[in-house]
């Protein structure tokens, strides 16, 4: 009788490699990374390169942007408009999100629908709707004339008033949704605990609820401000030459005057300004949020 033998032979085929999560995620990210590199990074680099080389290599386009001309005024007007729209959106969206965070059932569904349904409508259509409201013989002027508030139609368009109203209307959902997500994640027992310890409702809101909602505030402000910097449709339709923004000016230089070098320089300058503001904002809001939560 033969003794028990031990199996020491190895399979003839190649040795299988162990499964690696890092390698799997790397292959999973290969397709979106390649897509972004081809359709985002490469065109962006070409725009930057063209700003330095078209029509001749050098800094002539950037000297024009930062020289005596309307370009710096338009860039400043763009930043000012984006900041104003962001502040207005925050002031309007915060109480809306606060009420929605406390709502339940059908009330929450109705309010969510009122916030989300405008997103299903084209920005162009909504901007044209505001043109109908604000034109000299529009709905608003008809109401003002009928009420006897004014004797002649008010010129709302083109101008900053129409641009701000139109952009706030379009960007408001992008402020409400991050705020709502942050507020609904706050543990409401903390507010009741603050009340038990003697805090008034206003103090409980300022010392507990508001600091805990800052992540939503930071996300909403960054999203609305960065998007507003590159807004084109609403300023082009409602602002006109009296309230031109950087995106409108870039389109004008590229398509009307065929000055692609100057358009690229303006786009590069706006990109650098956006990145600088974003980095400063992250630095400031990160420290402010940590200080508020440490109280």
Identify whether 22 is part of a domain: no
Identify whether 15 is part of a domain: no
Identify whether 153 is part of a domain: yes
For the whole model, what pTM was predicted?
A: 0.82
- Identify the pLDDT of residue 55: 85
Identify whether 238 is part of a domain: yes
Q: Scanning the structure block, which residue is given the tokens 């999973």?
A: 28
Planar angle of CA 168, 163, 243, nearest 5 degrees: 145
Identify whether 50 is part of a domain: no
With a cut of 70, list the residues of the chain below it in pLDDT.
1-24, 68, 287-295
**Encoded tokens for 121:** 């409508």
Distance, CA of 134 to CA of 144 (rounded, Å): 11
Q: Mention every residue, 6+ apart, whose C-beta is less than 8 A from residue 73.
A: none
User: What is the separation, in whole angstroms, between the first and last Cα of the chain?
Assistant: 81
Domain count across the chain: 1
Identify whether 277 is part of a domain: no
CB 158 within 8 A of CB 242: yes
Domain that holds residue 132: 70-258
Distance, CA of 23 to CA of 30 (rounded, Å): 11
Identify whether 11 is part of a domain: no
**Encoded tokens for 85:** 């729209």
pLDDT digits (tens, 9 = 90+) for 59-104: 888 998 888 678 888 999 999 999 999 999 999 999 999 999 888 8
- Identify the pLDDT of residue 1: 47
3-state secondary structure 111-153: HHHHHHHHHHCCHHHHHHHHHHHHCCCCHHHHHHHHCCCCCCC
- Identify the pLDDT of residue 26: 74
User: CATH number of the domain that 166 lies in?
Assistant: 1.10.3720.10
- Identify the pLDDT of residue 169: 92
Backbone phi, then psi, for 151, in 5-degree steps? -95, -30
Q: Mention every residue, 6+ apart, whose C-beta is less than 8 A from residue 47.
A: 264, 267, 268
- Identify the pLDDT of residue 281: 86
Distance, CA of 221 to CA of 126 (rounded, Å): 22
- Identify the pLDDT of residue 7: 47
How is residue 295 annotated by DSSP? -
CB 218 within 8 A of CB 289: yes
Distance, CA of 10 to CA of 176 (rounded, Å): 62
The four Cα atoms 78, 218, 276, 79 give a dihedral, to 10 degrees, of: 10
Identify whether 53 is part of a domain: no
């Amino acid at each position: 009788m033969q003794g028990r033998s031990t199996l020491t032979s190895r399979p003839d085929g190649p040795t299988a490699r162990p499964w690696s999560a890092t390698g799997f995620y790397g292959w999973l990210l290969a397709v979106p990374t390649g897509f972004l590199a081809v359709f985002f990074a490469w065109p962006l680099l070409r725009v930057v390169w063209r700003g330095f080389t078209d029509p001749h290599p050098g800094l002539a386009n950037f000297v024009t942007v930062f020289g005596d001309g309307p370009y710096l005024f338009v860039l400043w007007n763009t930043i000012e408009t984006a900041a104003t729209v962001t502040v207005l959106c925050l002031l309007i969206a915060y109480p809306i999100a606060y009420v929605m965070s406390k709502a339940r059932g059908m009330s929450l569904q109705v309010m969510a629908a009122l916030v989300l349904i405008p997103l299903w409508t084209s920005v162009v259509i909504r901007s044209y709707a505001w043109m109908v409201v604000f034109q000299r013989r529009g709905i608003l002027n008809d109401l003002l004339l009928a009420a006897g508030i004014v004797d002649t139609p008010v010129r709302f368009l083109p101008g900053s008033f129409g641009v701000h109203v139109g952009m706030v209307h379009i960007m408001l959902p992008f402020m409400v949704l991050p705020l709502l997500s942050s507020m609904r994640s706050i543990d409401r027992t903390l507010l009741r605990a603050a009340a038990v310890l003697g805090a008034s409702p206003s103090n409980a809101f300022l010392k507990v609820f508001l600091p805990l909602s800052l992540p939503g505030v930071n996300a909403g402000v960054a999203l609305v401000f960065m998007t507003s910097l590159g807004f084109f449709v609403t300023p082009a339709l409602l602002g006109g030459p009296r309230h031109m923004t950087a995106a409108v000016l870039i389109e004008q230089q590229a398509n009307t005057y065929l000055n692609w070098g100057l358009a690229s320089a303006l786009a590069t300058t706006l990109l650098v300004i956006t990145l600088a503001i974003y980095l400063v904002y992250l630095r400031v809001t990160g420290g402010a949020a940590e200080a508020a939560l440490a109280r």
